Amino acid sequence: MSSKNKSKLLKLLVFSGAGAIALYSLLGFTSSADSQEAQAHQKIQTQLEQRTQLAKALGEKIRANDLPESFKIPWNGDDHSVKISYTIDETLQREADRLLKSYKPDYGAIFMIDAMTGEVLAMSSYQRDDAHAPNLNLQATFPAASVFKVVTATAAVDKAGVSPEHKIRYNGGAYTLYKKNVLSDKVTRWTNVITLKDAFARSINTAFGRLSIENLHPEDLNEYANRFMFNQEIPADFPVEMGVAYVPPGKGFEMAEVASGYNKTNRMSPVQGAMIAASVAKVPCSTDPRAASRPHRLVRGLRIGW
């Protein structure tokens, strides 16, 4: 969409009041006059409401893997036509589609975002037995599994002050999880010792179980699960199912299962998985070591011309 032809291009969708204020500042409404501020704020609110309405209206289309170039939305009793372009990178999108069609998994989804901006770069969905199946990227039906180790590791570093070089002692295998190994702090000649960063890199379940028992509390995991957008609506340019994370109230084996991702209860969507990965990927670009605990609160996929 050419900027010459479309003067009203809104690239940023913000759902929170704080975000609206940030956008207000970004657009340059810095007048101190109350009337001008009120008018500017009202204009922004109207644009955001229009964009939110469009995102809801487009939801069914995107769930059906359809990205229309134009659309009509109801606004103030009338139908308004809008033209839409997308942040999708065509090269990445073609490659994502090719990979899924080539390998033909029973179920497959590829969702890519820019780690710094939150813009969607590719969104491909595939189901072998149904070419018209709904977009899997938006469905929170997938086990969070070891992706949840990002939540646990972040809580350990940010809340408990654990260093990446912190040594964890554990008994048993790396990729199983047995109560007798997790709840025992007995050190024998067969006890393994590994740093947090290596346990994370190798996704060692028992080490993360021990980490949670030794250094964290259920409320810590709950807090950081919420920071990574579990149990709440994900603000995006399209509807995404809410990821679910249940942390048991007691400190014991059930908490260790959650912390290591060794359970089938906690679920998320590919969109949320990409957001979590992006929050980690952007850390090297940040001077704040706690940046990973503040993942993108917005997934941007649309550019809209009114």
User: 134-146: string of b/e by CB count within 10 Å (b at 16+)?
Assistant: ebbbbbbebebbb
pLDDT band at 299 (very low <50, low <70, confident <90, very high): low
- Strand 267-268 vs strand 142-143: parallel, antiparallel, or unpaired? antiparallel
Q: Is the pLDDT of residue 25 over 70?
A: no
Distance CA 94, CA 177 (A): 40
Please, how many CA atoms are within 13 Å of residue 188, restricted to the half-sphere of its CB?
6
Look at residue 73 and tell me whether its pLDDT is greater than 90. Answer: no
171: in domain: yes
CB 15 within 8 A of CB 232: no
Each residue's pLDDT tens digit, 32-61: 556 788 888 887 777 667 667 777 778 889
Does residue 124 fall inside a structural domain? no
Say whether pLDDT at 257 is over 70: yes
pLDDT tens-digit profile of 123-158?
999 999 999 999 999 999 999 999 999 999 999 999
CA distance 45 to 28: 15
Q: What is the mean pLDDT of the chain?
A: 82
* pTM, 2 dp: 0.78
* Average pLDDT of the segment spanning 108-118: 92
DSSP state, 242?
A: P
- Both 76 and 152 in one domain: the answer is no
Q: What is the C-alpha separation between 31 and 12, in angstroms, rounded?
A: 22
pLDDT-based confidence at residue 300 (cuts at 50, 70, 90): low
Both 170 and 236 in one domain: the answer is yes
- CATH number for the domain spanning 203: value is 3.40.710.10
User: Are residues 168 and 63 part of one domain?
Assistant: no
Element (H, E) at 35: helix 34-63
Considering the domain boundaries, does residue 230 fall inside one? yes
Range of the domain at 73: 9-85
Tally of domains in the chain: 2
